[in-house]
């Protein structure tokens, strides 16, 4: 999967999303996103397990973090999202299903994107523009990092999202 651009109307704060592969840590411009990527990349060539992530070691970026659990291909559940995630997106997805059959087109597209993270077993990133707290055209970036369960399957996707100053 190469670059994908989404500009369709949405019910959240995003106005344009560009979904990309990650080339290196140099792709990232914000501290929370780069810090999560650096943590994940430190395990390469292996993948980290969900149990390897200790939130107490990442308090400074906790507001920017979110966690999706893989229920099945095309079906994810948002397990947590920090306050910064809720502010940026405009809604809390905690506890919500993200599926390819969702009534919201943006959730269907998100489920397909998350499938690409699971299938590739590699981090992917997004950037684009959002309208946050009345300010339009704010630039953002995010990273989505696959995590293994104890059986060695990609069962979680840990992400970080942040506005770019």
Q: What is the mean pLDDT of residues 20-37?
A: 97
d(CA 108, CA 76): 11
pLDDT of residue 137: 83
Q: Residue 107 is part of a domain; what is its CATH number? A: 3.30.450.20
Structural domain includes residue 76: yes
Is 153 a member of any domain? yes
The answer to the question of residue 44 being in a domain is: yes
Confidence of residue 1 (pLDDT cuts 50, 70, 90): low
- In the block, which residue shows the tokens 């299903």? 97
Does residue 37 form part of some domain?
Answer: yes
Tally the domains of the chain: 1
Any domain includes 69: yes
List pLDDT tens digits, range 75-134.
999 999 999 999 999 888 899 999 999 999 999 999 999 999 999 999 999 999 998 887
Q: Residue 36's domain spans which residues?
A: 4-50+60-163
Residue 120 included in any domain: yes
For the entire predicted model, the pTM comes to 0.95
Residue 23, pLDDT score: 94
Give tens-digit pLDDT for 40-55: 999 999 999 999 999 9
Which residues partner with 160 through β-bridges? 65, 143
Range 13-30 average pLDDT: 94
Taking the CA atoms of residue 82, residue 87, residue 89 and residue 94 in that order, the dihedral angle to the nearest 10 degrees is 40
H helix intervals, the chain: 31-41, 83-89, 105-120
Torsional sign, CA 165, 92, 147, 127: negative
In a domain, 103, yes or no: yes
Q: What is the pLDDT of residue 41?
A: 98
pLDDT at 10 over 90: no
What was the pLDDT predicted at 3? 78
In a domain, 55, yes or no: no
- Residues 21-26 have a mean pLDDT of 96
């Amino acid at each position: 999967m190469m670059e994908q651009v989404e500009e369709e109307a949405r019910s959240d704060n995003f106005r344009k999303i560009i979904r990309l592969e990650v080339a290196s840590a140099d792709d990232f411009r914000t501290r929370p996103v780069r810090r999560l990527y650096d943590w994940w990349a430190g395990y390469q060539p292996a993948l980290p397990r969900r149990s390897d992530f200790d939130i107490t070691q990442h308090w400074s970026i906790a507001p920017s973090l979110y966690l999706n659990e893989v229920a099945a291909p095309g079906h994810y559940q948002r397990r947590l999202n920090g306050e910064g995630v809720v502010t940026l997106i405009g809604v809390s997805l905690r506890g919500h299903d993200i599926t390819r059959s969702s009534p919201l087109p943006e959730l269907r597209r998100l489920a397909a994107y998350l499938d690409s993270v699971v299938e590739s077993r590699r981090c992917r990133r997004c950037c684009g523009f959002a309208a946050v707290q009345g300010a339009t055209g704010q630039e953002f970036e995010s990273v989505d990092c696959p995590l293994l369960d104890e059986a060695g399957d990609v069962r979680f996707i840990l992400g970080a999202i942040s506005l770019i100053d």
